[in-house]
């Protein structure tokens, strides 16, 4: 399975600096163009998608629709899944983060109808529901066909939810089953698997999840590469089985035992252990045994991180001036080119 975890395009609330969890904030004209460019980029540089999942909020659904429109896959539609909606900010919807984290939080709790921010535990449960009910069953489809029919899946959602989804997926992965792209290491330095960084608008995390047998056969004619080896010396599974994907260095990393969802989001850099070019948390908290037992673990699979927060499609993109780029996108509006062509025709 080949996965793209994609954040939606820029929205009106993004521009205004407002918290928009469940608020159905619209794409700006610039955000629409970001999505259109991503659609072109994926169609030109990757194999055709087989499935697209999206949050039902319009900023994610419209971004996903722009991807679908450029795909050659017959009858490809966008499947909306409520589990993929952004974190609910409750009372703070439509307010700034400064208000949410300001000194008046206790006073806010006394406001009539106050609803607190959705907990990280609730986010994790929604991510698990999506994995177990929608995504992971697709691996069974591939197994039934002996790995011959690979799914290429795009998941278009929101930054906070995507971060939770990645951590919950990472929790399922076996020891020494994650490989990091050489390009990712070169551009970002040491990688903390549980915290790959934020998603920019239409930024994407690209992953390959392969059965160990498929992955081993693709690597059968290649030598293992040590972290110190020259990048020119490496020929890898991704080079063989995934044309036009980034080159991969053979660094086997033990995925960290993830911090509990109620823990702090980040650890100081002095609490990191580096394994090759991959960092894992030293003092991370083991998940509760009861939490792990009910999860479907991906034993026998190898996962490759190919791209983190991919933004190649945005190269050269500039925001339209005069406030046009920041304005809400209207599907009925005409581009300047269309307007003048029609004027000449009339």
Binding site, annotated residues for substrate = 7-14, 59
CB 66 within 8 A of CB 41: no
3-state DSSP call for residue 18?
coil
Cα separation, 136 vs 131, whole angstroms: 6
Counting beta carbons within 10 angstroms of the beta carbon of residue 137, is it exposed (0 to 12), middle (13 to 18) or buried (19 or more)? exposed
- Distances 345 to 217, 335, 342 between C-alpha atoms, Å: 60, 16, 5
Question: Cβ neighbours of residue 159 under 8 Å, at least 6 residues apart?
Answer: 7, 86, 198, 199
Q: What is the DSSP string of 64-106?
A: HHHHHHT--STT--EEE-GGGSPPP-GGGTTS-HHHHTSTTHH
Q: What interhelical angle do 120-130 and 159-172 show, nearest 10?
A: 70
- Catalytic residue among 8, 158, 313, 329, which? 8
Residue 86 annotated to the active site: yes
- Catalytic residue among 2, 33, 86, 158, which? 86
**Residues classed as catalytic:** 8, 86
């Amino acid at each position: 399975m080949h996965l793209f975890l994609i954040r939606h395009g820029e929205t009106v609330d993004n521009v205004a600096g407002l918290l928009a969890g469940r608020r159905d904030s619209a794409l700006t004209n610039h955000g629409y163009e970001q999505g259109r460019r991503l659609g072109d980029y994926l169609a030109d540089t990757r194999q055709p998608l087989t499935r697209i999942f999206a949050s039902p909020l319009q900023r994610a659904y419209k971004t996903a629709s722009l991807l679908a429109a450029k795909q050659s896959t017959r009858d490809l539609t966008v499947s909306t899944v409520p589990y993929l909606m952004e974190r609910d900010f409750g009372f703070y919807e439509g307010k700034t983060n400064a208000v949410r984290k300001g000194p008046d939080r206790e006073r806010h709790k006394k406001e009539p109808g106050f609803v607190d921010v959705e907990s990280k535990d609730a986010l994790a449960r929604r991510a698990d529901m999506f994995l177990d009910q929608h995504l992971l069953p697709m691996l069974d489809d591939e197994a039934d066909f002996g790995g011959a029919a690979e799914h290429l899946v795009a998941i278009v959602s929101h930054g906070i939810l995507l971060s939770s989804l990645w951590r919950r997926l990472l929790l399922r992965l076996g020891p020494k089953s994650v490989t990091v792209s050489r390009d990712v290491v070169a551009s970002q330095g040491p990688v903390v698997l549980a915290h790959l960084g934020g998603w920019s608008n239409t930024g994407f995390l690209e992953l390959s999840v392969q059965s160990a047998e498929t992955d081993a056969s693709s690597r059968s004619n290649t030598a293992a590469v040590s972290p110190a080896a020259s990048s020119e010396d490496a020929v890898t599974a991704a080079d063989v089985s995934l044309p036009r994907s980034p080159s991969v260095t053979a660094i086997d990393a033990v995925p960290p035992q993830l911090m509990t969802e109620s823990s702090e989001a980040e650890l100081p850099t002095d609490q990191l252990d580096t394994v090759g070019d991959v960092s894992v948390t030293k003092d991370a908290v083991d998940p509760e045994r009861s939490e792990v037992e009910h999860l479907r673990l991906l034993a026998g699979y190898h996962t490759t991180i190919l791209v983190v927060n991919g933004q190649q499609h945005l190269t050269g993109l500039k925001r339209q001036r005069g406030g046009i780029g920041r304005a809400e996108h209207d599907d009925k509006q005409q581009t300047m080119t269309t307007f003048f062509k029609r004027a000449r025709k009339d």
